[in-house]
Amino acid sequence: MNMKRYFGASSREALRHVKVELGSDAVILSNRKVDGGVEILAIPQADARALDATARESRPAIAEPVRTALNNPVMQPARPVQMKVAAASPVQQNPAQPKPAQPQQQTQAAAASGPHPAAEQIARTVIREIQSMRGLINEQLSGLVFGDMQRREPDKLRMMSVLLAGGFSPALARKFLEKAPADAGLAGLRNWIKKVLDKNLVTSAADEIVAKGGVYALLGPTGVGKTTTTAKLAARCVVRHGAEKLALLTTDNYRVGAHEHLRIYGRILGVSVHAVRDAADLQGALADLRGKHMVLIDSVGMSQKDQHVADQVAMFSGQNGIVKRLLLLNATSQGDTLEDVVRAYGARGLAGCVITKADEAASLGAVLDTVIRHRLPVHYVANGQRVPEDIHPVNREYLLHRAIGAQRDNSVREYAEQDIPAAMLGAEAAF
């Protein structure tokens, strides 16, 4: 096993030596303070896996002596012997009758009969304790790194709290702060991160969809605002190109009165509305409407965990590339939920996204984190129910300000904690 020691003036410096020589996947075995700095004992990831495999292979061999000891009659507690006196009998022993097994033979038979439950329980307990110790070491090492950051770079630690409170993922926040300039101050870090976000945020030109035209299917979970957003885009197209250049389709055959909702918007705008049931209907409808400048498809809303999402995506993807898919992302959703939505609806095949419910979200950090990591172009931002007023081309400065510029020093949880009734914290409170 290639076990090495690394020294540094601080934990961060010692960890840097480990990362340079063994890589970021190295396993830290111990760390301790020594004269002049910190000493870290580490091994490569490959050696750690080999050690784990060796431990698994040797587990039966380790448990065998314990199993033998548990099955050994000598180790068992003595039992009271009951004596029964009987008259001597001249009956001879039958040669064909088997002889009683000797204690040693009984021990071997018991050991060969199978593993003893107590021995297996001991082995599982040992493995579990080793894993627990490994996790504890990793937690202590992480705390040591953050403690070193707090001492050396307290502004970065405060900025980390701001990003996490704003909805950004820990992975993206750490990547930002690793590359951030040192001694920039909290205000300088905020401006630097805004510039990085602005550089990585992909947006379209104002009203690019309406100007270029085409066939667009609006996808997303239930309640994200697909029908309302379809009506908003339809109104912008009618104002620019006229009602005769637009057609509306709907695939929502599940909700009661779903077609009527879109038909009402169609009658107001003077636009025809068509209902399709499956891929064949969709192909026929698109063939009839190929002379239109723009066709908007309002899809049925379903959970991102629904198995029919894949069928819906396949239906739109199987139209020879005619249909472009726009994903609607709810700005009030958590980062993990948004990640599930993007993956379920096929991140790589999407033509972009529309951010909805921006007026209801406390921060836009989670949704910006998602679109940046998946390189999704943002076409519009919707911030209300009014048609067609509450949809806007992307204002990058507004998005960045809502993501980190408007963050308060105190988090929302700290404000909410003050509103908890004191009676709830009493011993008589029942949770």
The set of residues, in sequence order, having a beta carbon less than 8 Å from that of 199 and lying 6+ positions away, is none
DSSP state of 299: P
Of 90, 124, 152, the position where a domain reaches its end is: 152
Name the amino acid, one letter, at 112: A
Residues 8 and 139 in one domain: yes
Phi and psi of 81, rounded to 5°? -95, 125
DSSP of 207-230 = THHHHH-EEEEEE-STTS-HHHHH
Q: Give the pLDDT confidence of 169-206 residue by residue, as tens digits.
A: 888 888 888 888 877 788 888 888 889 889 999 999 88
The whole-angstrom separation of Cα 356 and Cα 330 is 5
Count of domains for the chain: 3
Query: 133 is in which domain, residue-wise?
Result: 1-62+116-152
Of 134, 165, 200, the position where a domain reaches its end is: 200
Does 189 reside within a domain? yes
The whole-angstrom separation of Cα 168 and Cα 153 is 20
Residues 139 and 222 in one domain: no
Residues 247 and 332 in one domain: yes
User: Helix, strand or coil for residue 331?
Assistant: coil
Does 105 reside within a domain? no
Chain centroid, CA 102 distance in Å: 61
Which pLDDT does position 278 carry in this prediction? 84
Beta strand pairing status for 37-43 and 4-8? Answer: antiparallel
Q: Give the pLDDT confidence of 198-238 residue by residue, as tens digits.
A: 999 999 988 899 999 999 999 999 889 898 999 999 999 99
Which pLDDT does position 76 carry in this prediction? 45
192-201 contacts, C-beta under 8 A, 24 or more apart: 193/159, 193/163, 193/404, 194/400, 194/404, 194/405, 197/368, 197/372, 197/400, 197/403, 197/404, 198/396, 198/400, 200/372, 201/368, 201/371, 201/372, 201/378, 201/396, 201/399, 201/400
Residues 233 and 131 in one domain: no
Residues 285 and 319 in one domain: yes
Residues 133 and 259 in one domain: no
Structure tokens at 42: 């580490």
Q: Which of 291, 306, 241, 250 shows the shortest CA–CA distance to 270?
A: 241
The whole-angstrom separation of Cα 370 and Cα 163 is 14
DSSP bridge pairs for 27: 43
- Ranges of residues in the chain with a pLDDT under 50 are 61-63, 65-98, 101, 107, 110-111, 408-412, 415, 427-431
Structure tokens at 260: 């009527």
Does 15 reside within a domain? yes
Residues 264 and 211 in one domain: yes
- Tell me the CATH number at 315: 3.40.50.300
* CB burial string 326-357: b at 16+ within 10 A, e below: bbbbbbbbebebbbbbbebbbbeebbbbbbbb
Does 410 reside within a domain? no
Does 336 reside within a domain? yes
Residues 148 and 250 in one domain: no
Does 100 reside within a domain? no
The whole-angstrom separation of Cα 388 and Cα 229 is 9
The set of residues, in sequence order, having a beta carbon less than 8 Å from that of 387 and lying 6+ positions away, is 228, 231, 232, 235, 265
How many CB atoms sit inside 10 A of residue 138's CB? 12
Does 47 reside within a domain? yes
Residues 179 and 254 in one domain: no
Which pLDDT does position 66 carry in this prediction? 43
Residues 16 and 122 in one domain: yes
Asked whether 364 and 380 are in contact (CB, 8 A), the reply is no
pTM of the model: 0.61
Residues 130 and 157 in one domain: no
Does 424 reside within a domain? no
Asked whether 224 and 330 are in contact (CB, 8 A), the reply is yes
Residues 208 and 301 in one domain: yes
Which pLDDT does position 13 carry in this prediction? 84
Which pLDDT does position 246 carry in this prediction? 93
Which pLDDT does position 368 carry in this prediction? 93
The whole-angstrom separation of Cα 308 and Cα 306 is 5
Helix axes 59-71, 45-57, angle to 10 degrees: 30
Which pLDDT does position 33 carry in this prediction? 83
